[in-house]
């Protein structure tokens, strides 16, 4: 279910990672190598990126497959950035909310993506949704599990939680309410990357000598420096540092 990628480092064209490599995110939309659930990610895509001197990211999203969008190919060729997050989508429910359901979701400096699915959506997590302020529910951009996860994360960020806590606690809460859910979350503010593994694949490529970090559902090439993140782990990263912390389930 879905593939995503986040980058921090020297300024590069988006296409350097999203379209050019042999196993780029575009190729992963129709021929992923390590996707555990689903085979084609054709239900939408998006990319968010940061321009120099502007903390609020730009965003381009569409509801169809990324390989059929000629505008994206042009955009990826000419837009350059030091930080971006991109995703291709395999919908949990076919046709749900179109472009509005495509990651990345955004608010202020944040870009967010979810890879996976909340099991038996939406009934088990209704109490978590009900606990959110009504205004947060009214602002949901789509009627999907990913949009609700973003609302849970964003509520914590606005309440002052650090990014790691803002991801880890909703993962624990949703996993407890809906066992068997797959909850790989990815978050960036253009300076840091935070991610979780819970039921699906995640890899990182660290190049501290050049101030470059990539976190992705799967490697886009065969560089031996790629490392797989263990399941049920919180990853926090800057351009020069990667930290991995085990995630434990909430106590009954």
> Where do the domains of the chain lie, and which CATH numbers do they carry?
3-114+184-246 (3.60.20.10)
Q: What's the confidence (pLDDT) of residue 40?
A: 80
Query: Residue written as tokens 């309440």?
Result: 159
Task: Band the pLDDT of 97: cuts 50, 70, 90.
Answer: low
Catalytic residue among 1, 2, 214, 237: 2
Report yes or no on whether pTM surpasses 0.85: yes
Query: Residue written as tokens 């880890």?
Result: 168
Q: Is the pLDDT of residue 94 over 70?
A: no
Q: What's the confidence (pLDDT) of residue 250?
A: 62
CA distance linking residue 123 with residue 248, whole number of Å: 23
Cis amide prior to 122 (ω within 30 degrees) = yes
Query: Residue written as tokens 């935070």?
Result: 194
Helix (H) or strand (E) holding 86: strand 80-88
User: Any catalytic annotation for residue 2?
Assistant: yes
CB atoms within 10 A of CB 138: 8
Average model confidence (pLDDT) across the chain: 94
Q: Is the pLDDT of residue 63 over 70?
A: yes
């Amino acid at each position: 279910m879905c593939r995503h990628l986040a980058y921090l480092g020297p300024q590069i064209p988006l296409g350097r990672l999203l379209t050019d490599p042999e196993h780029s995110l575009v190729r992963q939309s129709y021929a992923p190598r390590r996707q555990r659930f689903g085979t084609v990610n054709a239900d939408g895509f998006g990319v968010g990126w940061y321009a120099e001197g502007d903390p609020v990211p730009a965003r381009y999203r569409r509801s169809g497959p990324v390989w059929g969008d000629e505008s994206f190919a042009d955009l990826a060729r000419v837009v350059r950035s030091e930080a971006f997050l991109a995703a291709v989508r395999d919908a949990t429910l076919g046709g749900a909310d179109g472009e509005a359901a495509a990651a990345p979701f955004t608010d202020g400096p944040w870009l967010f993506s979810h890879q996976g699915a909340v099991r038996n959506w939406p009934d088990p997590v209704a109490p978590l949704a009900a606990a959110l302020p009504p205004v947060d529910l009214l602002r949901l951009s789509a009627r999907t599990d990913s949009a609700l996860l973003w609302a849970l994360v964003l509520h914590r960020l606005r309440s002052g939680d650090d990014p790691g806590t803002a991801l880890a606690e909703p993962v624990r809460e949703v996993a407890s309410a809906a066992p068997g859910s797959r909850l790989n979350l990815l978050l960036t503010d253009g300076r840091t990357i935070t991610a979780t593994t819970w039921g699906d694949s995640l890899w990182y490529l660290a190049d501290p000598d050049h101030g470059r970090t990539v976190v992705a559902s799967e490697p886009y090439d065969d560089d031996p420096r790629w490392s797989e993140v263990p399941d049920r782990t919180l990853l926090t990263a800057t351009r020069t540092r990667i930290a991995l912390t085990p995630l434990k389930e909430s106590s009954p």
